[in-house]
Amino acid sequence: MTGIVVKAAYATVAEEDGQIFVGFVDARDESYALFRQPKAGGALWFEVNDEDFGAEDAIESASLGPDGLTLILRPTCAGRFGYASSVAIRLKNCEDTEPALTRLRGMGLPGV
């Protein structure tokens, strides 16, 4: 299984132009994981490190554990993520984790 890891230093939650954004950022190497959804609901967009590495409804499942948030990507979306099958967002030293996870739950991310 090929995976991407984001060691988040901080999390952000924002609303702009009718969209909700939840991001997890590694400030040392500028990698990130970003979730986006219209405020009215709808498809969840997910991207890692660049908008080109993202897709709507890309997440097959999610689980929250002691190491952080693990996302299993849909096999049909693998090409959009450099053929990765999973994304691990490490939350051990992440600031503002709880507000971000709460918002993701409200966006309907399964398993959070």
Residue 2: the pLDDT is 74
pTM of the model: 0.93
Alpha carbon of 105 to those of 22, 27, 49, 68: distances in Å?
11, 24, 22, 15
Residue 18: the pLDDT is 96
Which residues lie below 8 Å from residue 52, measured CB to CB, with a gap of 6+? none
Q: What is the H or E stretch that residue 74 is in?
A: none
The answer to whether 51 and 57 are in contact (CB under 8 A) is: no
Phi, psi of 81 (to 5 degrees): -120, 35
In a domain, 74, yes or no: yes
Based on the structure, what is the number of domains in the chain? 1
Residue whose token pair is 């901080």 = 10
Percentage of the chain beyond pLDDT 70 is 99
Percentage of the chain beyond pLDDT 90 is 86
In a domain, 46, yes or no: yes
Q: What is the H or E stretch that residue 105 is in?
A: helix 97-106
Phi, psi of 79 (to 5 degrees): -60, -30
In a domain, 112, yes or no: no
**What domain range includes position 41?**
3-106
In a domain, 99, yes or no: yes
